[in-house]
Amino acid sequence: MRSKAIEYPHPVLNEYSSDYIDSTFSVNVFSNNDEDADIVLSIECKLNCSGLEKLILDGDAKVILCLICQRTSFRKMFELDIAKPVTIKIEKSKIVDLVEFEASIVAARDINEFSLPEFNPEYFRGCHFNLKKGYVLANEAGFKMKLNTHIEKDIAGVVLVRKDSNISSAKVQLSTSNEVNPELNDYIVISLPEEDYKIYSKMRTKKYLKNNAERFIQAVIILPAITEAIGRLRLDDSDQYEGTMWANSIYVALKKNNIEDLDDTEKSDAEIANILLGDVISDSLMELMNKMEEWANIREEDPTL
């Protein structure tokens, strides 16, 4: 999903080029609901570039979000607002497994003598460009969201990843029905050493790292914890977890995957955890391969790296 600035004969604002200075463009989903027949998404657009903002406000450019589902060949465009979040609805029947988000700022009409003060003067000092309607002015790397499993949709409420400066290796704790520690209540808690947590946090927040890496993070950090949780629920003393949010979420996900009773399935804990996370192992391997190919392409474009 990477958008290469090299493809354009004019300056384009994105994370991978230096065509603009002190400017950013990003789009994020800050809430979603897929409980009913429609998937409802609240989309927030953030633009830090006065020149492009003026073009949009004057009607010379607009922000377009493209939603894509490869499994169903679904593709639909939505116009976003830089001043406020936009709520969009998609029929759940049109989306299977994964939806991709790609956002761009495009010219709404032909623009002659296009030049902005945010252009990098090292490359474009005194340059002007004649643009046709539909030309891309900015784009972002894009991101993906899985919408099909209960445990993934509520992953923030089931698994809590936190920093612990007093440990030297990762630690998993599962809250019980009688949990007295408020930090553990209802959660599967994954504690990471400080340096590991810094890396995890950076991968979650830096868009140039987190794009296409979400499933890899889940496979490395979340999958082992869910595997251990399923193992605990198989034990004779699993009643101590009854009523916790994490246990209830797993039981709901099990039923959705036609596993009525853990004692009646021959699947291993790891197999079940992978199923509940939507075959995260396969997805993470694919994402890692895509990322490696992307890095290889970047090196080809810039041999100094």
**Residue 118 and residue 159 in one domain:** no
pLDDT in tens, 179-207: 777 666 667 889 999 999 888 877 776 55
Tokens of 253: 């996900």
Does residue 99 or residue 26 have the better pLDDT?
26
Q: What's the pLDDT band for 133 if we cut at 50, 70, 90? A: very high
Total number of domains in the chain:
2
104-108 mean pLDDT: 96
Interatomic CA distance for residues 48 and 82, integer angstroms: 10
298 lies in a domain? no
In this predicted structure, the answer to whether residue 283 has a pLDDT above a threshold of 80 is yes
Q: Taking phi first (over 0 means left), then psi (-120 to 50 degrees means alpha), and beta for anything else, what does residue 256 get?
A: alpha
Identify whether residues 40 and 138 lie together within a single domain.
yes
Same domain, 234 and 127: no
Mean pLDDT of 148-167: 65
Helix (H) or strand (E) holding 44: strand 38-48
- Of 90, 116, 148, the residue that ends a domain is 148
Q: Same domain for 137 and 203?
A: no
CB 27 within 8 A of CB 5: no
Relative orientation angle of helices 269-276 and 223-233, to the nearest 10 degrees? 120
Q: Cα(78)–Cα(69) distance, rounded to whole angstroms?
A: 15
Spatial CB neighbours of 204, under 8 Å, sequence gap ≥ 6: 210, 217
Examine the fold and report which residue of 94, 124, 148 is the final residue of a domain before the chain moves on.
148
Instruction: Decide if 297 is inside a domain.
Output: no
pLDDT digits (tens, 9 = 90+) for 58-93: 999 999 999 988 777 889 999 999 999 999 988 877
Residue 299 covered by a domain:
no
Look at the block and give the residue holding tokens 């499993």: 149
The answer to whether residue 300 is domain-embedded is: no
**Domain boundaries, position 170:** 150-290
What is the pLDDT, as a whole number, of residue 33?
65
Q: With CA atoms as reference, report the closest residue to 47 among 135, 142, 127, 138.
A: 138
**Which CATH number goes with the domain that contains 144?**
2.60.40
Taken in order 110, 115, 118, 121, is the CA torsion positive or negative?
A: positive
Same domain, 18 and 139: yes
Distance of CA 229 to the CA centre of its chain: 24
Instruction: Classify strands 159-163 and 188-192 as parallel, antiparallel or unpaired.
Output: parallel
Average of per-residue pLDDT across 163-175:
91
Q: Is the pLDDT of residue 230 over 50?
A: yes
- Other C-beta atoms lying within 10 Å of the C-beta of residue 197: 18
Based on the domain organization, do 17 and 102 belong to the same domain?
Answer: yes
Asked if residues 137 and 108 have their Cβ atoms less than 8 Å apart, the reply is no
- Distance CA(197)–CA(203), nearest Å, equals 10
Residues 265 and 207 in one domain: yes
Question: pTM of this prediction?
Answer: 0.53
